[in-house]
A = this chain, B = another copy of it.
Amino acid sequence: MNPDIIRERQNATFDVETLTNILDLGPEKTKRRREIESLVLSDPDFNEKDPNFLARSERYDQAVRKSAAMILKLREYGISDPEEILFYKRLAKGHHPEALALHFVMFLPTLYAQCDPKQSRKWLPLAESFQVLGTYAQTEMGHGTHLRGLETTATYDPATQEFVMNSPTVSSIKWWPGGLGKTSNHAVVLAQLFTQGICHGLHAFIVPIRDLDTHEPLPGITVGDIGPKFGFSEVDNGFLKLNHVRIPRENMLMKYAKVDLDGTYVKPPSDKLMYGTMVFIRSLIVGESARALAKSCTIAIRYSVVRHQSEIQPGEPEPQILDFQTQQDKLFPLLAMAYAFTFMGQYIRETYQRITGDISMGDFSEMPELHALSAGLKAFTTWAVSSAIEVCRMACGGHGYSRSSALPDIYVDITPNCTYEGENTVMMLQTARYLVKSYQQAKAGQRLSGTVSYLGEARQQRLQPQPMAAGQTVVDISDLASLVDVYKLRAMSLVELAANSIQEELGKRKSHAHAWNNSAIDLVRASDAHCHYVVVKVFTEKLGQISDPAIHSVLSTLAQLYALRGIKQNSGDFMLAGLLKGSQVLQISARIKELLSQLRPNAVALVDSFDFNDKSLNSVLGRYDGNVYENLFEWARKSPLNATEVHESFHKYLKPLRSKL
């Protein structure tokens, strides 16, 4: 064990195990998680090659092998609880996606949700026994978030009682679905349904794409891998071109909408029934983003206490780089963010469970709130985390750029979350639509509930901070409740600003659609402020549930840092809304410096509390024992370029150069 990191752990002011239990939502959960993790750790089948040293086809191969192994082993161990499966897979997968992910997270859930009873009897046994391996083919080369734009057609032919599935243009080729290129033999294809000459919009169809036995593509099917990406080398994101492929009528998923034998279309009872999965995945993304950031902070902070560099006091030994204020200012706000987003992830999961419970009881009243919350927070957290991981990487200097740090892998694994499951800007605008609508309802005297209820607070109360401009102070920067309040008032002022912008544009005789587009910058900003408020609020409320005084203290410090750093970075908004005076902005800067110093002794303990196993981090820089340099050398020697002492290019190109000159 590196002596620096030992000393860091001795200096901590709180008990790491207790905080781990809080993060896991109870000591029993911690225990069970570790039991499951030990199954992976003790299993020689998961001692695979570092994917960094493999070519893409080998990485895909290894990922498929692992997917198959996980299926068999989980069954063998009798692990079937979704959370426990997640514990197992997280450790087995590392930072890399699972080859069969789409079968589990999209194909099977779609079958469960949208098969009628007869279809369930046919398809579920096939899919659950992996004879049918499936994916979910929605996006097309030319069409993403805007589903109505999809071009693939499914035209019913009553003569044969078949649907003719077709990709009419190049831009209509299905593009991006995970597992579509090489792995899947079936796909749920989203297509515009035509019957009796009328288009009834998007519906889902089960399309066989490869022979069950030979795995060769079926007639009329052009299928393959879309090529290398920034990350996701393990996954065969694919394309699918359908050339008038005929499938039986029964392959349309018919739990809700139906097409009768003669081609008569039967409408679904509601078009909101397909909503749930997307909202669920978006709320999961919040937690996964938090996890990626927590890993990155663990790596960067552990490395920053074993790395010595430069000087503070001339003549003294090189200090640990975490002693530089600039390094603390890079990493501690991100550590605070990792905690904030972890609690936010827990909150949104609980909210999802509560509201879907209500929905299943027939109460749809909170569905818009849930949708707006998950859309906005998915965007807010993934954007923030994406940038934050790169800050962590750069905080590790050159070695952060090495694949041995794992930070590049964590980055490319998480950054697509900004785009998939709803492009972030589109998500922010959806949340903004809800905010503006709520604001207008409140103005019209309606009562609001949920996270937006502040938009209905009395106008007088909203305007309270205004007198501050004349010198009167209402914000106490060392009181979290007061900080939650200013975040709320800032969000309110930005929602108001966006709503006013729309009114102004309408006043210029613009259509509502153009008024909306011409206010889009303000609308995104308003959503961002709303999400920021919710995160600060949830973090603050979480503190109320923590009884251990030492942990309460250090988490309060983190919460204050998170809140104050956000104010500092957006100080213009707060000053513009009359919420802060210049002198307070200066006080906040000074206070942030104090908080950084306060956190310094607990930095390593705070990342240790996330309790990432070394295998899960797969980072030479982030090792628990801090023994970075020896292991960096070991790792490098395994580089494939070191398999021979002399690379063939010397003989082919370099040596001949001499004689040619």
Q: How far is the CA of A39 from the CA of B394 in the complex (A)?
A: 38
Q: Is the CB of B593 within 8 A of A521?
A: yes
Q: Is the CB of A325 within 8 A of B520?
A: yes
The residue that A57 contacts in the complex, of B181, B228, B647, B658, with Cβ under 8 A, is: B647
Chain B residues closer than 8 Å to A582, beta-carbon distance: 575-576, 578
Q: Is the CB of B144 within 8 A of A52?
A: no
Complex interface bits, A180-215 against B, C-beta within 8 A gives 1, otherwise 0: 011100000000000000000000000000000011
Q: Is the CB of A227 within 8 A of B403?
A: yes
8 Å CB contacts to B: which residues of A154-177? 170-171, 173, 175-176
A contacts, CB < 8 Å to B: 52-53, 55-57, 60-61, 64-65, 67-68, 71-72, 75, 129-131, 133, 139, 141-146, 148-149, 170-171, 173, 175-176, 181-183, 214-217, 224-231, 236, 239, 307-314, 318, 323-327, 329-330, 386-387, 390, 393-394, 397-398, 400-404, 408, 415-416, 418-420, 423-426, 429, 511, 513-514, 516-522, 524, 568, 570-576, 578, 582, 585-586, 589, 592-593, 629-630, 632-633, 635-642, 645-658, 660-661
Q: How far is the CA of A533 from the CA of B640 in the complex (A)?
A: 47
Q: How far is the CA of A145 from the CA of B183 in the complex (A)?
A: 47
The residue that A75 contacts in the complex, of B53, B524, B639, B661, with Cβ under 8 A, is: B661
Chain B residue at minimum C-beta to C-beta distance from A633: B170
Q: How far is the CA of A520 from the CA of B655 in the complex (A)?
A: 50
Q: Is the CB of A636 within 8 A of B142?
A: no
The residue that A401 contacts in the complex, of B390, B416, B575, with Cβ under 8 A, is: B416
Q: How far is the CA of A171 from the CA of B633 in the complex (A)?
A: 9
Copies assembled = 2
Chain B residues closer than 8 Å to A236, beta-carbon distance: 641, 647
Chain B residue at minimum C-beta to C-beta distance from A63: B649
Q: Is the CB of B570 within 8 A of A129?
A: no
Q: Is the CB of A650 within 8 A of B182?
A: yes
Q: Is the CB of B141 within 8 A of A632?
A: yes
Q: How far is the CA of A14 from the CA of B120 in the complex (A)?
A: 63
A-B contact pairs, 24 of them (CB 8 A): A60-B647, A61-B652, A68-B654, A72-B661, A75-B661, A144-B397, A146-B309, A149-B318, A183-B654, A217-B645, A224-B639, A225-B641, A226-B636, A226-B639, A236-B641, A312-B516, A313-B513, A390-B415, A397-B419, A397-B423, A400-B419, A571-B573, A571-B575, A576-B586
A170 CB to nearest chain B CB (Å): 5
Q: Is the CB of B408 within 8 A of A230?
A: yes
A392 CB to nearest chain B CB (Å): 13
The residue that A142 contacts in the complex, of B629, B640, B649, with Cβ under 8 A, is: B629
Which one of A61, A513, A572 has the highest number of Cβ atoms from chain B below 10 Å of its Cβ?
Answer: A572
Q: Is the CB of A149 within 8 A of B639?
A: no
| Contact (A657, B144) CB under 8 Å given A309-B149, A401-B230, A518-B325 | no
A616 CB to nearest chain B CB (Å): 20
Q: Is the CB of B654 within 8 A of A216?
A: no
Q: How far is the CA of A148 from the CA of B318 in the complex (A)?
A: 10
